[in-house]
Chains A and B, each alone.
Chain A
Amino acid sequence: MGKLILAASLGLTCLLSTATVALAEAPGTEDPNNWPQYNRTSNAWRYSPLDQINKDNVSKLSVAWIAQGGDITMGIQETPLAIDGVIYSITSGNRVAALDAKTGQEVWNYQPKLDPLTKKVLFSPYSRGVAVGDGKVFIGTVDGRGIALDQKTGKEIWQVQLTDFANCHGCNFTSPPVVAGDMLTFGSTAGELATQGKIFGVEAKSGKKVWEFNTIKDDPKSWPGTSGKYGGGGAWMPGTYDAETNTVFYGTGNPGKDFINEDRQGDNLYTDSIVALDPKTGNLKWYRQEIKQDVWDYDSAYEVLLFKKDGKDLIVHMNKSGYVFVLDKNDGSIENIWPVSDLKNFVKDIDKRTGELIGRVELPMNQETLICPSTFGGRSWNAGAYNPNTGLWYNNVLDFCGYLKPVAQKDDPKDYGTGHIGASDFGRLVMAPDGRKPGRLDARDPFTGERKWTHEMDMPGFAGVLTTGGGLVFNGDPTGILRAFDADTGKVLWSFNTGSGMRSGIISYAVAGEQYILVPSGWGSYAAILLPALFPQLEKMPAASTLIAFKLPK
Chain B
Amino acid sequence: MMYKLVLMTIACIFVGDAAYPQENVPNLKDPTMIAAGHDLFLQKQCSRCHGEGGKGGINLARRALDPRGVFQAIADGRMGSGLRMPASRDVLTDEEIWKATAYVMSISQQPK
Chain A residues proximal to chain B, CB less than 8 Å: 72-75, 119-122, 124-125, 407, 409, 412, 414-419, 421, 423-426, 428, 522-524, 528-533, 539, 542-544
Contacts and interface: CB of A to CB of B under 8 A. Distances in A.
B83 A74 contact: yes
Given A74-B83, A119-B77, A417-B77, 19 more contacts: A75-B82, A120-B90, A124-B84, A416-B90, A416-B91, A417-B88, A418-B44, A419-B48, A423-B45, A424-B52, A425-B48, A428-B52, A524-B82, A528-B83, A529-B49, A530-B49, A531-B57, A532-B57, A543-B82
Interface residues of B, number: 25
A543 B83 contact: yes
A424 B46 CA distance: 8
Contacts of A522: 82
Contacts of A425: 45, 47-48, 51-52, 56
A407 B42 contact: yes
B64 interface: no
Contacts of B49: 529-530
A426 B57 CA distance: 11
A73 B82 CA distance: 4
Interface of B: 42-45, 47-49, 51-52, 55-59, 77, 79, 81-84, 86-88, 90-91
22 contacts: A72-B82, A120-B86, A121-B86, A412-B91, A415-B91, A416-B86, A416-B90, A417-B77, A418-B43, A424-B42, A424-B43, A424-B48, A424-B52, A425-B45, A425-B47, A425-B48, A425-B51, A530-B48, A530-B57, A539-B59, A543-B81, A544-B82
Contacts, number: 93
A533 B52 contact: no
Given A428-B52, A533-B55, A543-B81, A122 B42 contact: no
A73 B79 contact: yes
Nearest to B82: A543
Contacts of B77: 119-120, 417
Contact of A424 (B45, B88, B90): B45
Nearest to A536: B59
A544 B81 CA distance: 9
Contacts of B45: 417-419, 421, 423-425
B51 A533 contact: yes
B91 A417 contact: yes
A74 B57 contact: no
B6 to A, nearest CB: 12
A409 B44 CA distance: 10
B75 to A, nearest CB: 12
A479 B90 CA distance: 36
Nearest to A125: B84
A117 B91 CA distance: 13
A529 B55 CA distance: 12
Nearest to A409: B43
A418 B48 CA distance: 9
A120 B87 CA distance: 5
A528 B79 CA distance: 13
A212 to B, nearest CB: 27
B77 to A, nearest CB: 6
B92 to A, nearest CB: 10
Q: Closest 5 CB pairs between A and B? A: A543-B82, A417-B86, A424-B42, A530-B57, A424-B47
A426 B48 contact: yes
B56 A122 contact: no
A376 to B, nearest CB: 12
A533 B82 contact: no
Contacts of B83: 73-74, 524, 528-529, 543
A531 B51 CA distance: 11
A245 B91 CA distance: 48
B70 to A, nearest CB: 16
Nearest to A417: B86
